[in-house]
Amino acid sequence: MSYGFRIKQSWRRIDAEAVNAFRDLPVANVSDAMQRLPGFGAEFRPMHRSGVLAGPALTVRTRPGDNLMLHKAIDMAEPGDVIVVDAGGDLTNSLMGELMLAHAIRRGVAGFVLGGAIRDAEAFLERNLPVYALGITHRGPYRTGPGEIGFPIRIGAALVSPGDLVLGDFDGVLSVPPGEASAVLAATRAKNAAEEKQMATTEAGTLDRSWVDKALRDAGCTYLD
């Protein structure tokens, strides 16, 4: 096995029940439940039109501007996988365009998180598969490698292992390790329920805002005429 040019063919994926349990929860609430520490970074922006991303990570590391291993990852993906690519954050060359996107949809890929750029941007809006990337460029990629599939990668601010739960909506993208999923799910549901209750009191005009003045007093704020 040659480091830097290798493919792992199997790993344990987070189960479908957990994926579905998180699917309808806001990513912001998942982030709050994880103490606001996870997240791939604000620079990862949605390239699709609407919808959410949820599924187990299929991890790829490649040199900037090269998509040989990304092609292979699409070919070996299981339906529902989210392909997460560490390409060094370089935007000089795109990692994929409309043709690869169409092939991925045909394969049942749930979406992508790309530490690089895309091209054929309008096609990503039209086909509407959840895709997050760092930017857009017309320059095409190379296909020579090296790269790796199925190993832990660093993408943005996060360490992602194959099989981790990847979640994304229009606030951004993050990952949840399978071993933490149950506790994070319970905390996220509690946070979501609290926000729904607050929204109801806000719309009813009965929201208690006394905490604002209390916080200002406790901080020593001075009121001036």
Give the residue extent of every domain in the chain. Answer: 17-175
Q: What is the pLDDT of residues 201-213, one digit of tens each?
A: 999 999 999 999 9
pLDDT value, residue 225: 87
When pLDDT is averaged across residues 90-110 and rounded to a whole number, the result is: 98
Instruction: Give the residue ranges of the annotated binding site.
Output: 97-100, 119-120
pLDDT value, residue 37: 85
pLDDT value, residue 99: 98
Q: Assign 95 a pLDDT band (cuts: 50, 70, 90).
A: very high
When pLDDT is averaged across residues 28-38 and rounded to a whole number, the result is: 93
When pLDDT is averaged across residues 15-42 and rounded to a whole number, the result is: 94
Backbone angles phi, psi at 112, to 5 degrees: -135, 150
pLDDT value, residue 1: 55
Q: Assign 102 a pLDDT band (cuts: 50, 70, 90).
A: very high
Q: b/e per residue, 91-117, with b = 16+ CB within 10 A?
A: bebbbbbbebbeebeeeebbbbbbbbb
Task: Reply yes or no on whether the pLDDT at 18 is more than 60.
Answer: yes
When pLDDT is averaged across residues 23-33 and rounded to a whole number, the result is: 96
- Mean residue pLDDT of the chain comes to 96
Distance CA 25, CA 60 (A): 26
3-state SS, residue 172: strand
**Topology adopted by domain 17-175:** Glucose Oxidase; domain 1 (3.50.30)
When pLDDT is averaged across residues 95-111 and rounded to a whole number, the result is: 98
Q: What is the pTM of this model?
A: 0.94
Distance CA 156, CA 152 (A): 13
Instruction: Give the residue ranges of the annotated binding site for substrate.
Output: 97-100, 119
pLDDT value, residue 2: 77
Written as six digits, the tokens of 83 are 């392909």
Written as six digits, the tokens of 90 are 């370089």
Instruction: Give the residue ranges of the annotated binding site for Mg(2+).
Output: 120
Q: Assign 63 a pLDDT band (cuts: 50, 70, 90).
A: very high
pLDDT value, residue 76: 97
Distance CA 40, CA 30 (A): 13
Q: What is the pLDDT of residues 116-154, one digit of tens each?
A: 999 999 999 999 999 999 999 999 999 999 999 999 999
pLDDT value, residue 79: 98
